[in-house]
Amino acid sequence: MFFPGSEVGGRLLAAGMASLLLITMAACGTSASVQPQDSSATGKTENTSSTVSSEKIYQMGESAQLFDIKLTIDDVQKTNDFDSEVLRDGMGFVLVKVTLENVGSEGKPYNYASFKLLSSDSKPDLNVTTLNNQSELHEGELAPGEKTSGIIPFEHPKNDPTMMLQFTPNIMSEQKIAFQLK
């Protein structure tokens, strides 16, 4: 029992806080690896940021793996019309179709917010995901071996040729996978 102001209560509180700290540190110690899945890759590497987990920049059609989630970019389309959304001046929609696969032995959560599309100014584009569109990737949990696919819509400057998709599967980590979209 906790007695405020007592020596016993202070010791119990300190022991509880130390235990919570150790559990938190252990949970954040998950190892990660980025593995190219496509042997026909060009081998071209670029170093864009210290937070990108690998120097390799992947291309559409290639697969990359991080935290037991394998990501493949299946298609990229530019359009001026998507699900009755209204564009800001000078902007267009970029629709990125992705496939996620859990290659691990435990369930893995996924979320459209784990994706950012960067333009040439390195600022993330607006994600315009709607909840009523069934073709979009929303959020959920993948069982081991399970796959899911969906579209992630972004608002992107029309005349900006740079489209760098970043995927961060674990919000507790700064490790990312980067894909150059063209």
> How far is residue 74's CA from residue 181's CA, in Å, rounded to a whole number?
11
Q: What is the pLDDT of residue 11?
A: 59
Output the CA–CA distances (angstroms, integers) from residue 177 to 3, 64, 66, 115, 130, in the order listed.
50, 7, 7, 10, 24
**Residues 93 and 79 sit within 8 Å (Cβ to Cβ):** yes
Q: What is the pTM assigned to this prediction?
A: 0.67
Q: Report helix, strand or coil for 21.
A: helix
The domains found in the chain, sorted by start residue, are 1-30 (no CATH), 32-180 (2.60.40.1240)
**Residues 139 and 171 sit within 8 Å (Cβ to Cβ):** no
Question: Which pLDDT tens digits describe the chain residue by residue (182 residues)?
Answer: 445 555 655 555 555 555 554 444 444 444 444 444 443 443 333 333 434 445 789 998 899 999 999 999 999 999 887 776 777 788 888 999 999 999 999 999 999 989 999 988 888 877 777 666 778 888 999 999 999 999 999 989 988 888 999 999 888 888 999 999 97
Question: Kindly report the CA angle at 23 between 106 and 32, in degrees rounded to 5?
Answer: 45
Q: What is the pLDDT of residue 5?
A: 55
**Residues 117 and 156 sit within 8 Å (Cβ to Cβ):** yes
